[in-house]
């Protein structure tokens, strides 16, 4: 009988731990953590033009947010601020924050050169030279899908910085690749002119 009780307890422990990880986050805790995130990412998660551009999270794919928070925590993506933020988040809080930011839908900040939008749209929709159509992964409206992020409404300087310096931040642990590895050869193939055009087009998409 004692052995049966011990076995049942051992088998139940992982299940309880998994349930605890999926437990609902109290609303006041989610509100406090979301407010902390918005102190950098903007009051509606729309992004912020600071010394370093801080990305829009509003409307973002939850799976992408979860993956990137894990990448920061595991040092597969380099950002000291986000390392400290991601390191203290429980799985339940990560899921709750991802769902919260996906639910937000503020207007894009805009501000990109409008004369580049038409060229950027063509590259995004059809590709150009060795650069494949962005829409093939990110969707025709740039809303993203699962692990592929939403790009619609993203700050143009953030997009420019990420694509221009891709290898300096992403894929820092080759033994743990993720979907961002798909972008590495594409980012390296894009010219500065192409990046600016695509970033301008995405900047105005709702």
> Using an 8 Å Cβ cutoff, are 197 and 119 in contact?
yes
**How confident is the model at residue 180, as a pLDDT?**
83
Predicted local confidence at residue 170, as pLDDT: 84
User: Which residues face 49 on adjacent strands?
Assistant: 53
Domains, the chain, ordered by start: 24-204 (1.10.760.10)
CA distance 44 to 57: 9
For residue 16, what pLDDT is reported? 42
pLDDT value for 50: 87
Which CA distances in Å does 184 have to 139, 151, 181, 190? 19, 17, 5, 10
**Residue 49 structure tokens:** 């033009």
Output the CA angle 44-50-52, nearest 5 degrees.
115
Instruction: Name the 3-class secondary structure at 48.
Output: strand
Residue 206 near residue 108, CB atoms below 8 Å: yes
| Cα–Cα distance, 81 to 83 (Å, whole number) | 5
Q: Residue 106 is encoded by which pair of tokens?
A: 């503020």
CB contact at 8 A, 188 and 202: no
Note the pLDDT tens digit of each residue in 121-173: 999 999 999 999 999 999 999 999 999 999 999 999 999 999 999 988 887 78
Quick: pLDDT tens for 156-170: 999 999 999 998 888
Q: Mapping DSSP to helix (H, G, I), strand (E, B) and coil, where does residue 148 land?
A: strand
Residues of the chain with pLDDT under 50: 1-21
Bridge-partner residues for 48, per DSSP? 54
Contact 150, 59 (CB under 8 A): yes
CB atoms closer than 10 angstroms to residue 62 = 18
User: Which pLDDT belongs to residue 195?
Assistant: 98
Q: What pLDDT, on the 0 to 100 scale, is given for residue 174?
A: 79
Strand partners, 180: none
């Amino acid at each position: 009988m004692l052995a049966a009780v011990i076995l049942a307890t051992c088998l139940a422990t992982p299940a309880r731990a998994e349930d605890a990880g999926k437990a609902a986050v109290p609303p006041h805790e989610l509100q406090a953590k979301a407010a902390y995130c918005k102190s950098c990412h903007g009051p509606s998660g729309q992004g912020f033009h600071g010394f370093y551009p801080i990305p829009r999270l509003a409307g973002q794919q939850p799976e992408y947010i979860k993956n990137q928070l894990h990448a920061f925590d595991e040092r597969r993506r380099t950002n000291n601020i986000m390392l400290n933020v991601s390191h203290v988040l429980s799985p339940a809080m990560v899921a709750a924050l991802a769902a919260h930011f996906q639910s937000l839908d503020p207007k894009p900040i805009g501000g990109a050169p409008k004369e580049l939008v038409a060229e950027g749209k063509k590259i995004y929709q059809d590709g150009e030279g060795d650069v494949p159509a962005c829409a093939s992964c990110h969707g025709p409206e740039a809303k993203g899908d699962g692990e592929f992020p939403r790009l619609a409404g993203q700050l143009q300087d953030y997009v420019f910085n990420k694509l221009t310096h891709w290898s300096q931040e992403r894929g820092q642990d080759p033994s743990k690749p993720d979907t961002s590895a798909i972008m590495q050869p594409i980012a390296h193939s894009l010219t500065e002119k192409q990046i600016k055009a695509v970033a301008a087009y995405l900047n105005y998409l709702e």
